[in-house]
Each structure stands twice: as structure tokens, then as C-alpha cells.
Homo-oligomer: A and B are copies of this chain.
């Protein structure tokens, strides 16, 4: 909830809110599977069982819908990593988080990170989309950073270690691993990449 109504004060009844959500949901699923450009509004109509006028009733144009999809996918991706992502403050926690990510990745037929795919496709051509995706990755990275910061406060992580940089490195490994996993249709690159990142964190610990 708590979506954006800032610029356009719309009434939106209960029924309307449901429809709107259904549209974004359907669009998110389709876009996740085939990308923004290969998902037509007709596809979204079919998937959500909604007419074209409704699409344009709730969204100014396709771009606006895509922005909402970015928001939803961000929520989904972060939520799917819970409860691990909220408490990455030990090596065992990092390891079970890795297991969860690998499991999630194996569960979907469309491997890869929805946010990574959106970024890849939109960043060069849509500045608004780019900014939101930067924010999405920042949220993700911040979650990781918080766990590391807690470890440093406890003295488990060396004072010289930079949680912000470490978090960025970890997220890069996850993204790269997901891309190669999606391409090769194998979990191995993902596992190997995250393991590297975890070992990288471990190297900055005071006691192994």
C-alpha cells in the first residue's frame, strides 16, 4: 500500500483499487517473464481480464504502468528474501540467505532478477525509471549494509571494514550470479558468486 497519489488526487473506490492492483500485478508477471518491450498492453488486458479503457483510466500511458511495476517488483524482491534479508548479521545468516536466493532462483522458470532485467532494459532510455531502479538497488544494498554494520558494532567485523562498500560488492555478486544463472540455466554461477561475496565479508571479520 501507500502508493503515490501525490500529483493526482484521485478518488479510487475499493473496487477501483482492486482493479488497479490487478493490472499492475498482471503487468509485473508478464514483464518479468518477457521484458517491457515484449509485453503489449493487449497482453496485460488478457492476463488481468481488464479492458483497454481501464488501463488508461488508471495509468497515463504504458510508461506510467511500468513505473508502478518497478515499485511492485521492488517490494516483491525484497519481501521474497525475508526474513533473511532483515538480519544479515552473521556468517550463518549470510549463508542461509544465499540458500534462500538460490532456492528462489531455481523455483522460477524465468530465472534472473526482475530488478536487474528492468534495469538492463530501461536504464538507457528512461530517466525516471532509472532513478527508481537506483533507489530500489539502494534499498536492497542498505538492507545488506545494516546487517554488516551491526556486525561491526558488535566487533565481529573489523573497524577498518566499510559496510557500504561490502554491501555493494555483495549485491554486485548477486546480480552477476543471477545474470549468468539465467543465461546458463544453472544455479552454479549464482552459488559460486555469492560464496565469493560471503568469503569476502568473512575476510574482514575479526575472528573466523
Is there contact, CB below 8 Å, between A172 and B173?
A: yes
Known: A120-B121, A165-B192, A203-B199. A133 touches B37 (CB 8 A): no
Known: A169-B193, A188-B168, A200-B200. A123 touches B183 (CB 8 A): yes
Residue interface mask A41-79, B partner, CB < 8 A = 1 = 000000000000000000000000000000000000000
Residues of chain B within 8 A of A193, CB atoms compared: 168-169, 172-173, 176
User: Could you list 11 A-B pairs, sorted by A, with CB under 8 Å?
Assistant: A112-B123, A119-B182, A119-B183, A120-B179, A134-B183, A168-B180, A173-B176, A175-B175, A175-B179, A176-B176, A199-B203
Question: Of B34, B171, B184, B199, which one neighbours A176 at CB under 8 angstroms?
Answer: B171
Residues of B within 8 Å of A173, CB to CB, are: 169, 172-173, 176, 193, 196
- Identify A34's interface contact among B124, B195, B200, CB under 8 A: B124
Question: Closest chain B residue to A181 by CB distance?
Answer: B172
- The yes or no answer to A143 lying at the interface (CB within 8 A) is no
